[in-house]
Amino acid sequence: MVYDLLVKFITSSCLDAKMSKKYLNHGFILRLLDLFDSEDPRERECLKTVLHRLYGKFMVHRPFIRKSMSNIFYRFVFETEKHGGIAELLEVFGSIVSGFALPLKEEHKMFLWRVLIPLHKAKSLGSYFQQLTYCVTQFVDKEPKLGSVVVNGLLKFWPVTNSQKEVMFIGEVEEVVEGMSVVEFRKVMVPLFLRVACCVNSCHFQVSERALFLWSNDQIVNLVAHNREAILPIMFAALEKNAENHWNQSVLNLTLNVRKMFCEMDEDLFMSCHARYQEEEAKQCSVMEKRKETWARLESAASMKPVTGKTAVLVTPSATSIAC
């Protein structure tokens, strides 16, 4: 009821903005933002409406509101990682970003790099991921040059030990890359596809599957096709390893489809990569054989030498094997 009255008061045509500034001041805004840390989702929803109307009505308070919201995000990311209203605050900020004039101010670009990108590293990312992705993609839609900045930021905070977050990151990368130009894509394609190749080889089938689904996106396939000389050599080994021994049938089928797609793009390049892959595999097999031979000679030499005093005894693997 109180929040409804406040919204009606703020949006009233009878409200004198100059007079109300005396009461709707910086102190009031800070207290209002503090209330977002409520456990009640209904209260947070009402606060979101109030803040949105307040931002639209009082242009003089807009810089302060953005700064205060930034401080909440900073405290959440770098200190506490505890706050109940991050999703709602990001939703409000998403609508603010959509209204930014072009070209973007340096202040707004710094917010993207210093606030939105680090928000990806929090453990509770899943609770506000949708709103965060919307904010990030709004920036890229406004200024496509920021696409490479976002991709580099995501690679910096990539969750290599959290499969659920990896799936989310791959989804966001897809949305960002869709809005990138060829020039910006070339700036990040090598580190990006090195990471994608790792995801394709993931033992977690959802991560591998989501990475392979990137080739279902026509825009990404088009970018890959234009830069296949750089991307196929990176991806080839990962695709071959999946095709040879991945345990999940769905991932195996997707791998074969992507492999076929690359072959149809440029058969000569594909065969060249295949020959190079076989050479590398042969070299690795040779190295492994030499290593086994070296260890065999060491074991043989150690077994023939008598044990004296405190000399270490070599225990053969067969003597220490445990039945499973």
| Triad 73, 45, 8: Cα angle to 5° | 115
**CA 278 – CA 284 distance, rounded (Å):** 10
Instruction: Please state whether the peptide bond connecting residue 41 to the residue before it is cis, i.e. omega within 30 degrees of 0.
Output: no
Q: Provide the sign of the torsion angle of the four alpha carbons 123, 129, 131, 135, taken in this order.
A: positive
Q: What angle, rounded to 10 degrees, do the helices at 26-34 and 41-57 form? A: 160
Least confident segment among 2-6, 244-248, 266-270, 276-280: 2-6
pLDDT at 231: 94
**CA 188 – CA 186 distance, rounded (Å):** 5
Of 100, 106, 5, which Cα lies nearest the Cα of 53?
5
Question: Among 7-11, 18-22, 293-297, which range has the highest average pLDDT?
Answer: 293-297
**CA 192 – CA 186 distance, rounded (Å):** 10
More confident residue, 59 or 267: 267
pLDDT at 61 over 80: yes
Over the stretch 197-250, which tens digit does the pLDDT of each residue have?
999 999 999 999 999 999 999 999 999 999 999 999 999 999 999 998 888 999
Confidence category of residue 12, pLDDT binned at 50, 70, 90: low
Domain edges within the chain:
1-143, 145-290
Confidence category of residue 324, pLDDT binned at 50, 70, 90: very low
**CA 56 – CA 59 distance, rounded (Å):** 7
pLDDT at 155: 95
pLDDT at 307: 59
**CA 268 – CA 239 distance, rounded (Å):** 17
pLDDT at 320: 47
Taking residues 317-321, report their average pLDDT.
49
Residue the block writes with tokens 């800070």? 30
Taking residues 121-145, report their average pLDDT.
92
Of 108, 70, 109, 104, which Cα lies nearest the Cα of 90?
70
Q: Are 229 and 187 in contact (CB under 8 A)?
A: no
pLDDT at 323: 46
pLDDT at 310: 61
Over the stretch 110-124, which tens digit does the pLDDT of each residue have?
999 999 999 999 988
Which residues are CB-contacts of 208 (< 8 A; sequence separation ≥ 6)? 199, 200, 201, 202, 242, 246, 248, 251
Extended beta strands in 104-196, E state = none
Confidence category of residue 89, pLDDT binned at 50, 70, 90: very high
pLDDT at 16: 64
Which residues are CB-contacts of 300 (< 8 A; sequence separation ≥ 6)? none
pLDDT at 47: 87
Q: Return the number of other C-beta atoms located less than 10 Å from residue 288's C-beta.
A: 10
Mean pLDDT of the chain: 87
Instruction: Please state whether the peptide bond connecting residue 103 to the residue before it is cis, i.e. omega within 30 degrees of 0.
Output: yes
Q: Count of residues for the chain?
A: 324
Confidence category of residue 321, pLDDT binned at 50, 70, 90: very low
pLDDT at 254: 94
pLDDT above 90 covers a percentage of the chain that reads 53
Least confident segment among 80-84, 141-145, 174-178, 306-310: 306-310
Confidence category of residue 40, pLDDT binned at 50, 70, 90: confident
